[in-house]
C-alpha cells in the first residue's frame, strides 16, 4: 500500500495527466473542426467559380414576379458544371455544409453568412459572364470587372472567416469594422450585378441567347410560350 506521499503524487499525477489528455483531445478536436471548415470552404470555392456552361432550364417567371432572385431565374437558364450537373443545386448543398462546419467550429453566424453570401455573389457574377459570352459579349469589359469585384469580395469575406476561426481573440476587437467594410463592398457589387442583369435580360439580348441555346425553339413549346419574333 503506498504511503501518503506516493498516494498524493499518484493522484495528483493522474489528475494532471487526465487534464492534459483532455486538453490535447480538445486541441486536436478543435484542429479537426478548423480543418473541416477549410475543406468545406475549398469545396464551395471550387463550385462558385466552376461554371462550365449554361442551358435552357425552367421557364422564367412572369414579369414582376417577386421570386426573381438571380439572372438564371429571370432568364430560365441553368448553370452547368463540367459533368453537366446543375451548378446551383451543388453550390447550395456545399454552402449548407460550410455553414454547419463554421457554426460547429464557433464562427459567429454573421461571419459565416458573409462568407457563404460572397460565394453566391461570385457564382452569380461568373454566371452573368458566361451568359454574356453566349449572348455575344454585350457587356464588354464590364463582365470581367464584375467577376473581379466579386472575387475581391469573396476573398475579403473568406479572410474574415479564417481570421475568426484561427485568431478570434485578435479579430474580435475589429470585427464590427471589418463587417462594415464588407457591407460597403457588397453594396457596390450588388449595383454592378443588377446593371449586368438589366442589360442581359433585354429582349434583344435574351433572344440571341435563346436562339443559341435552343435553336429549334422546342423548349419554348414545352413552356407554352411563344418564342421572340426576332429569336
- On whether residue 17 sits in a domain, the answer given is no
Residue 29 inside a domain? The answer is: no
- The answer to whether position 27 is within a domain reads no
C-alpha 193/C-alpha 19 separation (Å) is: 53
Q: Is residue 100 part of a domain?
A: yes
Total of domains in the chain: 1
Pairwise CA distance, residues 32 & 101, whole Å? 10
**What are 152-206's pLDDT values in tens digits?**
999 999 999 999 999 888 888 888 999 999 999 999 999 999 999 999 989 889 8
CA distance 119 to 154: 6
The answer to whether the beta carbons of residues 54 and 79 sit under 8 Å apart is yes
Q: How far apart are CA 28 and CA 21, in angstroms?
A: 11
Q: What share of the chain is helix, strand, coil (3-state, %, to 5)?
A: 75, 5, 25
pLDDT recorded at residue 163: 93
Determine the angle formed by the axes of helices 109-134 and 4-48, rounding to 10 degrees: 20
pLDDT value for 171:
85
**Does 10 reside within a domain?**
no
The reported pLDDT for the residue numbered 64 is 54
Q: What CA–CA distance (Å, rounded) separates 214 from 210?
A: 5
Grid-cell match 425552367, residue found: 58
Q: Is residue 34 part of a domain?
A: no
pLDDT for 217 equals 67
Q: Is 16 contained in some domain?
A: no
Range in 62-76, 111-125, 158-172, 216-230 the model is least confident about = 216-230
Tell whether 5 is covered by a domain: no
Q: What domain range is 132 assigned to? A: 42-223
Mean of pLDDT values over 132-148? 95
- What's residue 135's pLDDT? 92
Amino acid at each position: 500500500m503506498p504511503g501518503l506521499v506516493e498516494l498524493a503524487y499518484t493522484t495528483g499525477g493522474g489528475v494532471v495527466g487526465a487534464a492534459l489528455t483532455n486538453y490535447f483531445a480538445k486541441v486536436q478536436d478543435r484542429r479537426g473542426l478548423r480543418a473541416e471548415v477549410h475543406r468545406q470552404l475549398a469545396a464551395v470555392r471550387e463550385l462558385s467559380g466552376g461554371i462550365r456552361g449554361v442551358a435552357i432550364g425552367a421557364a422564367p417567371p412572369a414579369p414582376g414576379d417577386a421570386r426573381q432572385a438571380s439572372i438564371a431565374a429571370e432568364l430560365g437558364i441553368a448553370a452547368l458544371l463540367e459533368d453537366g450537373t446543375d451548378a446551383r443545386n451543388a453550390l447550395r448543398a456545399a454552402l449548407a455544409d460550410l455553414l454547419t462546419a463554421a457554426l460547429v467550429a464557433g464562427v459567429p453566424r454573421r461571419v459565416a453568412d458573409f462568407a457563404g453570401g460572397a460565394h453566391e455573389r461570385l457564382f452569380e457574377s461568373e454566371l452573368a459572364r458566361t451568359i454574356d459570352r453566349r449572348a455575344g459579349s454585350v457587356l464588354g469589359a464590364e463582365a470581367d470587372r464584375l467577376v473581379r469585384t466579386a472575387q475581391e469580395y469573396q476573398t475579403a469575406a473568406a479572410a474574415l472567416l479564417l481570421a475568426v476561426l484561427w485568431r478570434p481573440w485578435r479579430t474580435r476587437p475589429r470585427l464590427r469594422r471589418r463587417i462594415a467594410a464588407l457591407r460597403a463592398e457588397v453594396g457596390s457589387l450588388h449595383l454592378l450585378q443588377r446593371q449586368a442583369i438589366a442589360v442581359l435580360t433585354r429582349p434583344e439580348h435574351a433572344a440571341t441567347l435563346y436562339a443559341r441555346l435552343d435553336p429549334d425553339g422546342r423548349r419554348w413549346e414545352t413552356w407554352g410560350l411563344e418564342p421572340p419574333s426576332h429569336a
